[in-house]
Amino acid sequence: MESPKKNTVRQGLLSVLRRLKNSPEQEVRILLLGLDNAGKITILKQLASEDISHIMPTQGFNIKSVQSQGFKLNVWDIGGQRKIRPYWRNYFENTDLLIYVIDSSDRKRFDETELAELLDEEKLNMVPLLIFANKQDMMMAATAAEITESLNLHTIRDRIWQIQSCSALTTEGVQVHTHTYLLYKLYLSIPLP
């Protein structure tokens, strides 16, 4: 017998799939969050194939639309400064994928991530989670496994999630479209109830 929690997760994923399959353009609304200086805007610019030589911190939000793998990815990058974080919840509605960027080289800020609180938000219930363990090109960067342990990610049971080591500067591991595609391929493998 399947647990009620697992069945609820499956129903949530199926509703996302049904909405995507009924959409002619297969639009995916991606919410890009993380603390200030984690590398969100660099990842967003890399995704949009834009120049990253002049990066300014996000004041408020940025929106980019990118076509990839048959999906139109609408990425909402919301600033991560402490004074902006309370406004994150204004952007939760209709999110198909949550991307959370962590500065792997700044271990002292791991406790500040607010990721656990985000995952408790009702409007983000069962939304798939992709975590970028960014700045892996830095000498003292924590590994994805260390971040998983530090943030107790292994306890996440109410959604599909993945953590990916990356460097936004070198683009290693930053193929958002590939990860999004793989997450949706995983959804497709879930049998219908």
Query: Is 70 within any annotated ligand binding site?
Result: no
171 labelled as ligand-binding? no
152 is in an annotated binding site: no
Q: Calculate the CA 77 to chain-centre distance.
A: 10
Distance CA 189, CA 184 (A): 9
- For 108, list phi and psi in degrees, rounded to 5: -65, -15
Residue with tokens 């969100």: 40
Cα–Cα separations (whole angstroms), residue 134 to 37, 79, 80, 107, 131: 10, 16, 15, 12, 9
Distance between CA 143 and CA 133 in Å, rounded? 7
- Compute the chain's Rg from CA coordinates: 16
Alpha carbon distance 177, 154 (integer Å):
24
Contact 13, 126 (CB under 8 A): yes
Phi/psi at 12 (5° precision): -65, -45
Tell me the C-alpha distance between 98 and 28, whole Å: 11
11 annotated as a binding-site residue: no
Q: Is 11 a catalytic residue?
A: no
The response to whether 80 counts as a known ligand-binding position is yes
- The one catalytic residue in 26, 59, 69, 81 is 81
137 is in an annotated binding site: yes
Catalytic residues: 81
What residues form the annotated binding site for GTP? 80, 134-137
What residues form the annotated binding site for Mg(2+)? 58
What residues form the annotated binding site? 58, 80, 134-137
